[in-house]
């Protein structure tokens, strides 16, 4: 259902309606929704016992349970517990709930002090598991990390390389979890949005079980292996003026029968100035070259606040999440939604 019925047709100014790989999408203004805690990454959501759960992260994570995303004002969040602090600071960016209620999650961790006092960090991606609905997790270890040495001359303002700012989705037909992430270092032609995958049956023992896509094959190890980006950085992250997509968030869209990826676009100066939010489509995750040419959803100016990072979709129907949506969904940017997005094949 649409939640824009209170808006007149005149008020519903269409921001965009573009064909992309056979799909169209339209973005409309909608009543403001704000996540219950500060969002400094993708914010995963899931349903459990009829309640809508959301995790927000800022280097540590918080969880809240509400009736649905239109009830965020009623949320009372609590801190998420992790059995070990080896990989803090930690941003939980994706989750998947098994039929038995076991919750698997994946996090972005930034290794500190890799360049002395320069302030640059080196992100990597790890895995968690929870048996109490996301309130407490066991750290399963790092599953994706760069094999490159830190580039302490990098001028992007944050990272000396590494893998991070990602999302994870299960392809039930293929039997793999797919990781879409950013490679921030190494050779210039390897930097950009990259992809890796892990077999479903390895979810509880993921270390050493994730394989990166490189040169047409899924044969590079998650720890230290090389990558071939699916969207290469036009100007590498080591430069003072990087020009690159980053922060992919992915969902399966039941109306399009396609996977949909949203990304930020940093261009072209230090500290990642936001040029816009972009979208791409692919019906087959096992084909990394199948992503459509990114199309702009909103410009940096249209977002209306800064920094306008971390775009993601949350479906509006019961059972829909940040990885599953239908024809109508809410568009969030850094934990704030002022837009509804409508997908049509």
Q: Where are the chain's structural domains?
A: 33-344
What average pLDDT does this structure show over 321-338?
A: 98
Query: Per residue in 30-64, pLDDT tens?
Result: 999 999 999 999 999 999 999 999 999 999 999 99
The residues facing 27 across adjacent strands are: 341
Query: Per residue in 114-170, pLDDT tens?
Result: 999 889 999 999 999 999 999 999 999 999 999 999 999 999 999 999 999 999 999
Task: Tell me the pLDDT of the chain averaged across its residues.
Answer: 93
Q: So what's the pLDDT on residue 23?
A: 80
Model's pTM, two decimal places? 0.94
Alpha-carbon distance of 206 to 225, in angstroms, equals: 15
* Residues 6 or more apart whose Cβ sits within 8 Å of residue 24: 17, 18, 343, 344, 345
- Class of CATH domain 33-344: mainly beta
Q: Is the pLDDT of residue 13 over 80?
A: no
Q: So what's the pLDDT on residue 216?
A: 97
- DSSP codes of every residue in 13-58: ----B--BTTBEEEEEEEEEEE-SS--SS---EEEETTEEEEEEES
Q: So what's the pLDDT on residue 15?
A: 35
């Amino acid at each position: 259902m649409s939640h824009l019925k209170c808006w007149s047709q005149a008020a519903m100014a269409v921001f965009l309606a573009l064909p992309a790989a056979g799909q169209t999408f339209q973005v409309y203004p909608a009543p403001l929704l704000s996540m219950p805690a500060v969002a400094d990454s993708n914010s995963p959501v899931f349903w459990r016992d009829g309640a809508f759960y959301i995790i927000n992260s800022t280097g540590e994570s918080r969880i809240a349970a509400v009736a649905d995303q239109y009830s965020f004002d009623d949320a009372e969040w609590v801190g998420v517990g992790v059995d070990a602090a080896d990989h803090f600071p930690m941003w939980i960016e994706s989750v998947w709930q098994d039929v038995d209620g076991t919750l698997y999650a994946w996090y972005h961790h930034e290794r500190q002090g890799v360049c002395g006092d320069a302030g640059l960090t080196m992100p990597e991606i790890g895995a968690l598991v929870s048996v109490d609905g996301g309130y407490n997790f066991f750290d399963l270890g790092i599953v994706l990390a760069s094999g490159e040495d830190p580039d302490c001359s990098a001028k992007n303002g944050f990272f000396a390389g590494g893998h991070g700012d990602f999302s994870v989705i299960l392809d039930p037909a293929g039997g793999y979890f797919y990781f879409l992430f950013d490679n921030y270092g190494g050779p210039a032609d390897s930097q950009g949005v990259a992809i890796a995958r892990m077999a479903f049956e390895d979810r509880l023992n993921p270390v050493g079980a994730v394989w990166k896509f490189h040169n047409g094959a899924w044969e590079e190890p998650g720890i230290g292996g090389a990558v071939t980006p699916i969207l290469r950085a036009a100007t590498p992250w080591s430069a003072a003026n990087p020009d690159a997509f980053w922060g992919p968030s992915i969902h399966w869209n039941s109306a399009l029968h396609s996977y949909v990826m949203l990304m930020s676009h940093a261009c072209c100066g230090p500290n990642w100035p936001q040029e816009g939010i972009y979208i791409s489509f692919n019906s087959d995750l096992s084909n990394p070259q199948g992503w459509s040419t990114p199309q702009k959803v909103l410009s940096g100016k249209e977002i209306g606040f800064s920094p306008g990072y971390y775009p993601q979709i949350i479906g509006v129907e019961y059972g829909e999440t940040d990885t599953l949506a239908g024809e109508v969904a809410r568009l969030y940017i850094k934990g704030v939604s002022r837009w509804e997005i409508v997908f049509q094949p």
